[in-house]
Chain A
């Protein structure tokens, strides 16, 4: 940043602060945010990594065990289940993106009351996951649930979604997809608003329509919206905790645990807190997330440079 020459002259002979104002001010403005962020976010990451090499019950002395926690993880069947469930979450949670696009396309019209429709479709996102979890667990109730009522109408047998070790995770993911789809929908509605009408008209004259038009003309223009939808959905999938805790509390037989939930259970919810072991699980989760964080930052970096 260059200063107009006369301001430079004005500054001479004044106090140190006045002379260095441009260099010092940003740091003064950044100080409180950096302080808070360092104390509560950055330093704890390293503390957790450090803790993962110890055994600690949260009260007594910490004992150094080296990589022992990680070695144990490799043989821990509950860890394996959690890891696989995380993969399922990642894969199926991403369905929110095409589903959101689909609803956005459906709602991208100008009929009376459409604005109200859009906001009501978005509604599930505003509600806390705790409430979403409760509602869906009632929906899945083995005998009285609405799902079984509907299945009964078409002659399908009652199923106990949340009581079935293989189905339960999918049941929870379905509940999570509800608000997440709403989020992706709103991103795409905004994106569709900005689609260049001239390109659409030009493509129409060239005979493009329907799926071809969507795939070759519209979707490329929605790239920024897709990127954000991808980021928030991945983060959401790896953060899944509330729904699991409310709907199944990890059960049945621990089959709906994911890393974030298992970590919490090991570190806090069990008798004899195993903080070190919990920290090791958190580190694994962090490393998975780091792959995505690196990708996100890299994309942002590319964009910054392009400016």
Chain B
């Protein structure tokens, strides 16, 4: 193990390490701690210039109440869920199928199709922006959640297919050959043999895509406007305009907006990290 386990070091070093660890964490998370503290501060703290000190009084309920009952925030949150969940289902479904095709079958153009998905996944959004916006307008889906979902499914399919295909390549191939010898139809092999083995990959992708799409800002701005269909990332900027310089409300709003992916991460941590670090070890 590298670096040398701290247990093998002198006791003084061990104590130093254990004291420094929480300090380092607090420094690292200082921006977040600040927002959390901001979100329970009273308005007057900011007018009196007490930005970074202790809260003058606890106004958590007032501030969060304001966010939930007196702003468009719940609307934006609902939109975010209505955009994110269908995207997760769509992208995972499409890429499970595509990954199966690319992972199991050796046909001539296999590697080129695979590279098409990989390369497409890396392109800058801006080169897609104008045509995708036009297409969405033409389909009458501009400023709808559906328009955003369709694009997200398509774009995320690139990354997801890369992931699924590499995962399926690691499965024991004799299993599929055995099924074929038994005369099982190919789609049944997908459904009854491969798909159950892909559960960890499906879970990992689902949490990753949830986070990516929840946090998307660019496409939300390009394809939607207004509270009827904008997700919370875009909504928070109009929130910004509504409560100009109201740091306590902005902070409360930001925390509410950030909560779903954070919960997702802590609940599904193992899958999340497995997904992000796929390929980081041979």
Contacts and interface: CB of A to CB of B under 8 A. Distances in A.
- The yes or no verdict on A and B being binding partners is yes
Given A40-B151, A127-B258, A296-B122, A48 B127 contact: yes
Contact of B276 (A4, A186, A200): A186
Contact of B95 (A33, A139, A238, A296): A33
B250 interface: yes
Query: For the side of the interface on A, what is the size category?
Result: 35 or more
A139 B277 contact: no
A222 B193 CA distance: 34
B150 interface: yes
B120 A51 contact: no
Contact of A128 (B25, B111, B157, B214): B214
Interface in A108-126: 108-111, 117, 119-124, 126
A286 B127 contact: yes
A260 B125 CA distance: 8
Interface in A24-39: 25-27, 29-30, 32-34, 36-37, 39
Given A51-B130, A129-B217, A135 B124 contact: no
Contacts of B211: 126
A93 B264 CA distance: 27
Interface string A219-240: 0000011001000000100110
Given A23-B107, A29-B101, A33-B161, A282 B126 contact: yes
Contacts of B82: none
For the complex, would chain B's binding face be called helix, strand, loop or mixed by DSSP majority? helix
A97 interface: no
Contacts of A272: none
B185 interface: yes
Contact of B131 (A10, A47, A117): A47
Contacts of A283: 127
Interface in B223-241: 233, 236-237, 240
Given A139-B31, A225-B280, A260-B124, A218 B97 contact: no
Interface in A122-178: 122-124, 126-132, 134-136, 138-139, 141, 144-146, 149, 178
A38 to B, nearest CB: 9
Contacts of A10: 183
B61 interface: no
B218 A268 contact: no
Given A135-B254, A138-B247, A40 B52 contact: no
Given A30-B102, A33-B161, A36-B157, A44 B128 contact: yes
A74 interface: no
B74 interface: no
A241 interface: yes
For the complex, would chain A's binding face be called helix, strand, loop or mixed by DSSP majority? helix
A238 B262 CA distance: 25
Given A194-B281, A282-B127, A292-B122, A39 B32 contact: no
Interface string B155-179: 1011001000000000000000100
A146 B113 contact: no
Interface in B1-55: 1-3, 5-7, 17-18, 21, 24-25, 28-32, 34-35, 38, 49, 51-52
Closest 7 A/B residue pairs (Cβ): A40-B154, A44-B131, A128-B215, A33-B98, A26-B101, A29-B101, A36-B154
Interface of B: 1-3, 5-7, 17-18, 21, 24-25, 28-32, 34-35, 38, 49, 51-52, 94-95, 97-98, 100-102, 104-107, 110-111, 113, 115-120, 122-133, 135, 150-151, 153-155, 157-158, 161, 177, 180-181, 183, 185-187, 190, 211, 214-215, 217-218, 221-222, 233, 236-237, 240, 247, 250, 254, 257-258, 261-262, 264-266, 269, 273, 276-277, 279-282
Given A235-B122, A285-B126, 14 more contacts: A25-B101, A26-B107, A29-B190, A30-B97, A33-B117, A33-B157, A109-B17, A127-B215, A127-B261, A149-B52, A178-B31, A187-B277, A289-B123, A296-B122
